[in-house]
Amino acid sequence: MSAFNEVKVFVRIRPTAQFAHELIEYSPDEQTVNVRLSKKSKTAVLNNQMSSWCFRLSGVLHNLSQEEFYQQVAHSVVLGALEGYNGTVMCFGQTGAGKTFTMTGASESYKQRGIIPRAIQDVFHEIDTRVDYSFSVHLSFLEIYNETLVDLLASVKGGQTKHCGTLSVVEEPEGAVSVKGLSLHPVHSEEEALNLLFEGEMNKIIGAHALNKNSSRSHCIFTIHIESRSHARSNAAYVTSKLNLVDLAGSERLSKTGSEGQVQRETLYINRSLSFLEQAILALADRRREHVPFRQSKLTHALKDSLGGNCNTVLVANIFGEAAQIEETLSTLRFAARMKCVRTEPAVNKHIDPALQVQRLQKEIQILKQELFLHNTLADRAGVMYEDLSEAQVALIKSEVQRYLAGTLDELRIESVQQIQAVFAEFKKAFQEQEQRLKEQTSQKRVVVEHTPSTSDAKKPVKEVVGLPASSHQQSVTLGRGKGKKVKESSRKNGHGSTGPGKHLTMTQSETEIVLPPSVDESKESANDEVKMSDIPPSKMEAFEVYKSEGGSELNRILKKNKSVLKERLTQVNNLTGNINSIKWDIDHMKTELQLYKEQRQGKSTSAVGEPVLDAAEVNLLMKLREAKDQYRQHYTELLSTKAEVQYCRHLVDQCRMRLFTDFESWYNESFVLPDEVLSIFKDGGPIRPGLVPLDNDLALRAPHGPASRRNSMGSDTNKPKPLATVTPIRR
């Protein structure tokens, strides 16, 4: 890829039966759009002068399928993201022009999938083929509604959030931007990614007006974060990238949409943010401008690195083909032409893993040492070693330095850099010890402390004393239970090496520290701290496994049985759906053949009553068509019944799961958690073990989630978790 790339701009015209060929014309090379607009004067006299504009873009795509459109527009950007290049695909245009259809597609048809589902499929397909690399993929879904940032996947569990609180756009040191507080969700398959996409789409805000019944009332940014690492251990570098798929809200004219109230307020915010986006594009297109107003709106700030930074950017301009919308079409094409003048600088986002880099450098050092050893051997210097010095070698160097300083050794033998460093370290240590001795000799003071063994004096604090420098008989004494401080005692040995009553204790001032014996409460605390690990209650995960095999075994069995029934019904639904699609295809094929027979019979002989004469093949085909329709109705009725059973089985599974969790909480609290009053009663008698308090003695000893609260929670459906809606495409 080149250092500078122009933003690729494609125009997609919404299919219509009333295409204005006299106003909109695209060239055969599919890169130029010509627009002619007839202007009328304000006076009564008509001014029939034609004003025309010519827009040359990267491509004009008309009457293309979703697959063909994706291959031409977004496929290369997705592959670049897997190589480490940031990518952005953005849809812009008037409301109702087909931006959401282009980006997301139609939910009722698998073939009508948009850019986002196809990009997800491409990413995981490429990951499966690139076996020499390991990939990690995370998803985020951001909505900008009325200049407010909203996390569309905030309700989904398992997300990773660096910062909590209100979402805000922040700039990173490298110039990139990120949204602080936006959750990142790891995904490992196409199905997981599609489930997150469907969950976010359900949380989007939509509205209705005269031009669009399902108009997006916010800007949405679906981001795929990709990290790629090579399996080669010697390679410490890895690449990261993010793929932004942006569905902008459509520009609207209140005179045409007829919006009022809340929808009108949303329209004002949308048009203002799109106006700020156009101002930023104008500034980026003008290379003489030094300042680009990215901070004017949340949209331009969030897309800062996508518009003019390190990114492969593609803009899709969705326009109408009708003459009634020619002014909005012209405005969209002008924006697209300005966007094409913007230049980006895509580059691979390389990073270095510090741990792998250290390992690589250590291996390189080892290789260099071996080469140096070989060179020394050839140069007849085989005794030189470049490994770290052993303890014996360090002790030998220390002895030689001391002899050198004492004058008994004339010279030091040096053979390697490690020896030089060790010798200088010993010299430094010797000089520091000499300076310390000089300081202690100049600041000597002696203070004598009378030592008496009386009980009254034992409670008095020890006075600070100053004495002689530490002698060779110095020893360190530590009192207390780990909380006391050290007292360094310096004494000259007499008969038995101890000081009796009336003897003197001498200590240096720099080594005097106060030590208090531990109190009685500390002794008790230390005794209670010696609780065996077996007395600590198990974690909830371990206890849950025990509960499922003991007290909750029956509930767990019922839950597993309900899950198996649900899985069986889902399989039956998939089989019925495939059969219905196959029968429907056969019905359409037979209808086409019957239509051909009908066209062939025109002008041929008829019966006495005027009815057409049918041959045997056509009669046989009619009978097959009738049987196929009967099978279709039968399978469709069975499918509806099976879907109802699936919903009921899901309800039973959720109910059993909630009952199992609630009963486990009660069992765990009753078995391992005791109130503070009971803990205070048994505190002095040793550690409390599960089961010391009978479960049926007193209701006050029960945990907050007891049977009573369980009945209340089971009696209401408000606390029941809602399962995520998953959509499985139907393939033929």
72 three-state secondary structure: helix
Whether residue 188 contacts residue 129, with contact meaning beta carbons closer than 8 Å, is answered with no
- The CA distance from 60 to 32, in Å, is 7
- Residue 165, Ramachandran bin (φ over 0: left; ψ between -120 and 50: alpha; else beta): left
Residue 324 half-sphere exposure toward CB, CA atoms < 13 A? 8
Neighbours of 504 (CB within 10 A): 15
Nearest Cα neighbor of 312 from 693, 519, 3, 19 is: 3
What's at 4, amino acid-wise? Answer: F
Tell me the C-alpha distance between 81 and 224, whole Å.
Answer: 9
Among 83, 120, 115, residue whose Cα is nearest residue 194: 120
For Cα atoms 447, 448, 453, give the angle at the middle one, nearest 5 degrees. 145
Asked if 38 and 48 count as a contact pair (C-beta separation under 8 A), the reply is: yes
Q: What is the CA radius of gyration of the chain?
A: 41
The response to whether 200 counts as a known ligand-binding position is no
Give the CA angle between residues 89, 253, 95 to the nearest 5°.
30
Quick one: the chain helix, strand, coil %, rounded to 5? 45, 15, 35
Cα–Cα distance, 483 to 488 (Å, whole number): 16
Please report, as a single letter, which amino acid is at residue 316. Answer: V
- Cα 80 to Cα 76: distance, rounded to the nearest angstrom: 6
Does the annotation place 100 within a ligand binding site?
yes
98 is in an annotated binding site: yes
Residues 6+ apart with CB under 8 A from 463: 449
Q: Are strands 206-207 and 215-216 parallel, antiparallel or unpaired?
A: antiparallel
- Are residues 34 and 53 in contact, defined by beta-carbon separation less than 8 angstroms? yes
User: 262: annotated binding-site residue?
Assistant: no
Q: Please list the residues that pair with 50 across neighbouring strands.
A: 38
Asked whether residue 96 is marked as a ligand-binding residue, the answer is yes
DSSP H/E element including 114: none
Q: What is the number of other CB atoms lying within 10 angstroms of the CB of residue 111? A: 11
φ, ψ for residue 184 (rounded to 5)?
-110, 130
CA neighbor of 670 nearest in space, from 638, 624, 701: 701
Separation of alpha carbons 86 and 349, rounded Å:
8
User: Considering only CA atoms, which of 307, 249, 328, 298 is closest in space to residue 9?
Assistant: 307
Q: Is 726 annotated as a binding residue?
A: no
Pick from 680, 725, 672, 675: nearest CA to 698: 675
CA atoms within 13 A on the CB side of 635: 19
AA letter at 21: H
**478: annotated binding-site residue?**
no
Q: Which residues of 350-377 are buried (b: 16+ CB within 10 A; e: fewer)?
A: eeeeeebeeebeeeeeeeeeeeebeeee
- Annotated binding-site residue? 429: no
Look at the block and give the residue holding tokens 């939509």: 206
d(CA 329, CA 325): 6
What is the Cα 437 distance to its own chain's centre?
A: 60
Binding-site annotation: residue ranges = 93-100
Binding-site annotation: residue ranges for ATP = 93-100
